[in-house]
């Protein structure tokens, strides 16, 4: 196999692999690399219609990558909707994503109660994640679940939830504790401080 054949196989493999990604940012980035490799491959062979098509696809990927990256910290990207703790849609989300939730939150257990609150995070009409919390006392909220669906894991919806949506300060909370033992926590990147097996965020009063 010559280097040109290898280049074509690599580009094709990357293209297929990109389409298997559930995360939006990773899908677009891998697809862009695949398109650029296939541009070089088809140009070397002189197959200009295929080269031109991959140039266009690369441009489309660049456009969507730009939009994804530039809106990841924009609070208008996400909306937080409070739902009842015994809401049927919430129960459906927890059931559908149960295996994935258990992967990152092995100790998670949920039962509706007056001391608990539930929020669904949306981007347009797409479900981004779920935030479930319990009031420890008048000033402290314990997050029992902070789950982000696979397509949005390359983004920072938690930044909006904890900093911009006022979910906690509007209820009088001044401190947020994260679930202990959570797998791959990201809280250190959005202002939380390490506190044993958990993280804590001190909120300023409004």
Residue 16: per-residue pLDDT: 92
Residue 85: per-residue pLDDT: 92
Helical packing angle, 24-45 and 3-19, nearest 10°: 150
Which is higher by pLDDT, 39 or 110? 39
Residue 73: per-residue pLDDT: 67
Confidence check: pLDDT of 205 > 70: no
Instruction: Give the CATH number of domain 75-202.
Output: 3.40.630.30
How many CB atoms within 10 Å of residue 170? 9
Percent of the chain scored above 90 by pLDDT? 36
Residue 75: per-residue pLDDT: 67
Confidence check: pLDDT of 206 > 60: no
pLDDT digits (tens, 9 = 90+) for 88-144: 999 999 999 999 999 888 888 888 888 898 999 898 888 999 999 999 888 999 999
Tell me how far CA of residue 89 lies from CA of 52, 97, 187, in angstroms: 45, 12, 27
Please tell me the pTM assigned to this model. Answer: 0.75
HEC secondary structure over 73-140: CCHHHCEEEEECCCCHHHHHHHHHCHHHHHHHCCCCCCCCCCCEEEEEEEECCEEEEEEEEEEEECCE
Give the residue-averaged pLDDT of 23-38: 91
Contacts of 194 (CB under 8 A, 6+ apart): 188
Which is higher by pLDDT, 121 or 76? 121
**For tokens 């009031």, what's the residue?**
135
**Phi, then psi, of 56 in degrees rounded to 5:** -65, -45
Inter-residue contact 201 to 133 (CB < 8 Å): no
Confidence check: pLDDT of 21 > 60: yes
> DSSP string covering 136-173, please?
EETTEEEEEEEEE-GGGTTS-HHHHHHHTS-TTGGGT-
How many CB atoms within 10 Å of residue 58? 18
The domain limits of the chain are 3-70, 75-202
- Residue 182 pLDDT class (50, 70, 90 cuts): confident
Which is higher by pLDDT, 142 or 153? 142
Residue 35: per-residue pLDDT: 95
Give the bridge partners for 119, in sequence order: 82, 131
Report the C-alpha gap between 157 and 75 in whole angstroms.
9
Report the C-alpha gap between 196 and 200 in whole angstroms.
10
Give the residue-averaged pLDDT of 42-48: 91
Report the C-alpha gap between 157 and 163 in whole angstroms.
10
CA dihedral 36, 41, 44, 47 (to 10 degrees): -100
Which is higher by pLDDT, 180 or 26? 26
Report the C-alpha gap between 37 and 31 in whole angstroms.
10
């Amino acid at each position: 196999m010559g280097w040109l054949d290898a280049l074509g196989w690599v580009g094709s493999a990357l293209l297929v692999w990109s389409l298997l990604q559930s995360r939006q940012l990773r899908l677009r980035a891998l697809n862009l690399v695949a398109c650029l490799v296939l541009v070089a491959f088809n140009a070397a062979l002189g197959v200009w219609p295929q080269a031109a098509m991959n140039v266009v696809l690369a441009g489309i990927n660049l456009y969507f990558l730009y939009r994804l990256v530039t809106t990841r910290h924009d609070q208008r990207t996400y909306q937080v909707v409070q739902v009842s703790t015994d809401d049927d849609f919430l129960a459906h989300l927890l059931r559908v994503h149960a295996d994935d939730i258990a992967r990152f939150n092995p100790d998670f257990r949920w039962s509706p109660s007056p001391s608990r609150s539930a929020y669904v995070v949306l981007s347009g009409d797409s479900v981004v994640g779920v935030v479930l919390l319990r009031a420890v006392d008048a000033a402290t909220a314990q997050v029992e679940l902070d789950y982000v669906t696979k397509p949005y894991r390359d983004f920072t919806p938690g930044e909006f939830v904890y900093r911009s949506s006022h979910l906690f300060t509007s209820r009088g909370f001044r401190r947020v504790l994260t679930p202990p033992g959570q797998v791959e926590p990201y809280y250190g990147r959005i202002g939380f401080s390490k506190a044993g097996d958990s993280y804590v965020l001190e909120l300023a009063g409004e």
